């Protein structure tokens, strides 16, 4: 008897992870998808509320795992109150890492996600990282994820597969995918703003990148429509 494939989606409550959750629902079926969210001491707790709301809308089981080490380490704008996120979109020629980079975050998240998946008999882990969505984060690159997948398989003697459906998509492409997989209603409850503002600030790099993607796709952002935020 063939085992039904199941998937665990890393759900941050943001645009990309919301899209990936609905992609997984399409690919694996609603009964075979779960979500995991990490409480890593992020400054903007609204992310956790958004992830919870989106999981409810999608009708999937959600597990929230606490990881407070990143907050203890600090040194970045997402966990350290003394550091303000950089504003404005980054130049493609800028090779310096932005101050919103949390060193090792995706490596740790996916390791814990794979461990949770292992305990539940799940062999597929889905994450919304993308190397074409320019942020300069080295842990969003395909070669990093391939190396991590191999390490996880060897280290847990498992057949875990890391899925990155957005890896080579532009932000406009991810908006179109969100439409295709029926994620737009949930997108209205997603959170992307680096400043943690609702409505979104429209000034930070993340807000600008999101707005550019929706504009290029010719689609109104459901979050902006719901909150009356910056277009």
161 marked among binding-site residues: no
Q: Tell me if 209 sits within 8 A of 89, measured CB to CB.
A: yes
CB 79 within 8 A of CB 71: yes
Known binding residue 11? Answer is yes
- Check the annotation: does 201 bind a ligand: yes
Q: Is 4 annotated as a binding residue?
A: no
41 is in an annotated binding site: no
18 marked among binding-site residues: yes
Does 42 carry a binding-site annotation?
A: no
- Strand 161-163 versus strand 7-10 pairing type: unpaired
For the chain, give me the number of helices (H) and strands (E)?
9, 5
Contact by Cβ (8 Å): 32, 4: yes
48 belongs to an annotated ligand binding site:
no
**Does 204 show up as a binding residue in the annotation?**
yes
Tell me how far apart the alpha carbons of residues 49 and 59 are, in angstroms, rounded to a whole number.
15
Least Cα distance to 76 among 108, 42, 111 occurs for: 42
What's the start-to-end Cα distance of the chain, in Å? 51
Q: Is 21 annotated as a binding residue?
A: yes
Find out whether 140 is annotated in a ligand binding site: no
Residue 20 marked ligand-binding: yes
* Nearest by Cα to 57 from 102, 24, 86, 21: 21
50 is in an annotated binding site: no
- Please identify which residue in the block is written with the tokens 């998937």: 7
- Residue 15 in marked binding region: yes
Q: Please enumerate, by residue number, every residue annotated as part of a binding site.
A: 11-21, 193, 201, 204, 207
Q: Please enumerate, by residue number, every residue annotated as part of a binding site for Zn(2+).
A: 193, 201, 204, 207
Q: Please enumerate, by residue number, every residue annotated as part of a binding site for ATP.
A: 11-21
């Amino acid at each position: 008897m063939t085992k039904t494939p199941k998937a665990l989606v890393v759900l941050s409550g943001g645009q990309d992870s919301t899209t990936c959750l609905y992609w997984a629902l399409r690919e694996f079926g609603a009964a075979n998808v779960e979500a995991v969210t990490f409480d890593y001491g992020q400054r903007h707790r609204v992310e956790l509320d958004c992830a919870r709301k989106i999981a409810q809308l999608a009708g999937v089981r959600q597990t929230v795992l606490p990881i407070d080490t990143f907050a203890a380490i600090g040194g970045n704008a997402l966990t350290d109150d003394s550091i303000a996120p950089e504003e404005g979109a980054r130049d493609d020629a800028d090779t310096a890492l932005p101050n919103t980079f949390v060193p090792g975050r995706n490596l740790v998240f996916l390791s814990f996600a794979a461990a949770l998946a292992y305990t539940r008999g799940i062999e597929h882990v889905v994450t919304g990282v993308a190397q074409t969505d320019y942020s300069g984060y080295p842990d969003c690159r395909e070669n990093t994820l391939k190396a991590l997948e191999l390490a996880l398989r060897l280290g847990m003697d498992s057949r875990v597969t890391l899925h990155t459906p957005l890896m080579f998509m532009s932000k406009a492409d991810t908006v179109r995918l969100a439409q295709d997989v029926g994620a737009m209603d949930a997108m209205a409850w997603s959170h992307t703003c680096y400043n943690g503002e609702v409505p979104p600030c429209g000034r930070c790099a993340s807000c600008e990148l999101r707005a550019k993607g929706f504009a290029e796709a010719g689609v109104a952002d459901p979050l902006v429509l719901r909150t009356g935020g910056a277009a």
